[in-house]
Amino acid sequence: MKQLPSINDIRLWLADNPGATRRDIAKAFGIKGGAKIDLKVMLRELEDEGSLAPRHRSSGGGDKLPPVTVLEISAPDAEGDLFARPVEWRGEGAAPVILFLTQPGDPALGQGDRVLAKLEEIRGPDYDYQARLIRKLGANPSRILGIFRKEAQGGRIVPIDKGADRFWSVTETGGAEDGELVHAEPLTKGRFGPSRAKVLERLGDPTAPKAVSLIAIHQHGIRDAFPDDVVAEADKAGPVQEKGRRDLRALPLMTIDPWDARDHDDAVYAEADSDPENAGGYILWVAIADVAAYVRPNSELDREARRRGNSTYFPDRVVPMLPDILSGDLCSLHEGVDRPCIALRMVIGEDGSKRSHEFFRAMMCSVASLTYEQAQAADDGQLDDATAPLAQALADLFGAYRALTRARHRRQPLDLDLPERQIILSEEGRVTSVAFKQRFDAHKLVEEFMVLANVAAAETLR
């Protein structure tokens, strides 16, 4: 296949061949087949800068939008209605106003998100079109991930996003080599000139295993950088007021998580109930990190968390729902550190029935951050330095779990305890093997406690 010309090569050829068509350009440079897709992106950029006459459109009205188009979501108005604007508008005057109609099952949309939408011309009092979602495309990028292509004067970045419609011209290359995967920052994205960017980070070989996570993040429009105002709000998070919270710091609550857990969301503790009317029963405690102590409704943090919806985990990284100072520190129940929590005290009968429960806000201090393997070994009689001081508490935790298991067997629910596969990676990020993940009673213990906690929450809220 003939090598694709640079944008500058095409500019020089157009200077000698004014009035040439796109077909003339493809023929002159011998571009065929799949290479025409890359050529189309360059021609679009030349059209934007005025070096190439725009293609004539026959859309039945120069100032009308096509029935299916790409929109960018605007901020909601005072009444909460969502509006959007076309990403590309070449008509005369201001772009039309578009009311965006959300439907049940649509993903959460926020300001700056891009969508492919179906339009209906309405000519309402305050808007010109109504739009309905076809699919979400992701936000206008604050960062570009792409392949750097070196040219005589700097270079260009070819975005890895298949939906990208242009290259990015680069003069500040950061020393990037041809063919490298790079992170770049957009500098301009005007309608009347080439889009420019500067390289921020060289990421090396795009075929390397650890590049896959970065590419997946960008391909799926996952927000992997926090806006400055969100970070600033997180940085202001200070000590939580203890007034009105019950002090549970003397209670030996512990976290039980995978060995590679990046944060600790919940803690548990159990003890035999001393009430003679509940002989053989347990007092079961579940505590979860009180995120609401730091994230206020409608704050910048809250809005950003709503846009993200969840944390996203990859083999070599995590894209958190909240900035790391919260997700990895203040909202994580680290061992030996005071933390605000939502606590739940439940009374469990010997038969596994929940007799009562109570929720309250509290302060806690985890006595240990255990792995599932450590907790299971303790139940099997193999104590270590971390579990030996907690031998009785762990015995009571497993006792409460077995009581709940008896109740489960009586209910005869559908058992979906299916084997889970685990992909084993080398230090370089390459897959070395696929194995069944070990599953212990310690896993089921935490799951059973969390299900019961959710039942208690549902009963409280109904």
Closest among 198, 215, 213, 211 to 157, alpha carbons compared? 198
First to last CA, the chain: 67
- Cα radius of gyration rounded to whole Å, the chain: 29
Which pLDDT score is estimated for 447?
Answer: 96
The strand pair at 113-121 and 129-139 is best described as antiparallel
List the structure tokens of 14. Answer: 């157009």
Q: Is 151 helix (H, G, I), strand (E, B) or coil?
A: strand
Distance of CA 133 to the CA centre of its chain: 20
Closest among 344, 351, 346, 345 to 279, alpha carbons compared? 351
Sign of torsion, CA 104 107 112 116? Answer: negative
Closest among 329, 322, 319, 338 to 233, alpha carbons compared? 322
* Residue corresponding to tokens 């897959």: 431
Say how many C-beta atoms besides its own lie within 10 A of residue 208's C-beta. 14
Closest among 338, 332, 367 to 254, alpha carbons compared? 367
Distance of CA 254 to the CA centre of its chain: 28
10 Å CB burial of residue 321 (0-12, 13-18, 19+) is: buried
Amino acid present at 434? V
* Residue corresponding to tokens 């003339």: 24
List the structure tokens of 423. Answer: 């992909």
User: Mapped to the 3 state alphabet, what secondary structure does 367-397 carry?
Assistant: CEEEEHHHHHHHHCCCCCCCCHHHHHHHHHH
Which pLDDT score is estimated for 57?
Answer: 40
10 Å CB burial of residue 112 (0-12, 13-18, 19+) is: middle
- Per-residue pLDDT tens listing for the chain (462 residues): 457 888 888 888 887 776 677 777 877 888 876 676 678 778 878 777 777 766 544 334 456 888 888 888 887 776 678 889 888 776 767 788 898 998 887 887 877 778 889 999 876 556 789 999 998 875 545 678 889 999 988 899 988 866 565 688 898 899 999 999 998 888 765 444 567 889 988 988 888 877 888 888 877 778 888 988 899 999 998 889 899 999 999 999 999 999 888 889 999 999 999 999 999 999 999 999 999 999 998 899 998 998 888 999 888 888 999 999 999 999 999 999 999 999 999 999 999 999 999 999 999 999 999 999 999 999 999 999 999 999 999 999 999 999 999 999 998 888 777 888 888 888 877 888 888 888 999 999 999 999 999 999 999 998
Q: Is 341 helix (H, G, I), strand (E, B) or coil?
A: strand
Q: Is 212 helix (H, G, I), strand (E, B) or coil?
A: helix
Model pTM score = 0.65
CB under 8 Å to 250, separation ≥6 — which residues? none
Say how many C-beta atoms besides its own lie within 10 A of residue 401's C-beta. 24
Sign of torsion, CA 228 229 231 236? Answer: positive
The torsion angles phi and psi of 404, rounded to 5 degrees, stand at -65, -35
The one-character DSSP state at 366 is B
Check if the beta carbon of residue 198 is closer than 8 Å to that of residue 208.
no
CB under 8 Å to 253, separation ≥6 — which residues? 267, 268, 269, 285, 287, 333, 364, 365, 366, 367
Closest among 68, 74, 70 to 119, alpha carbons compared? 68
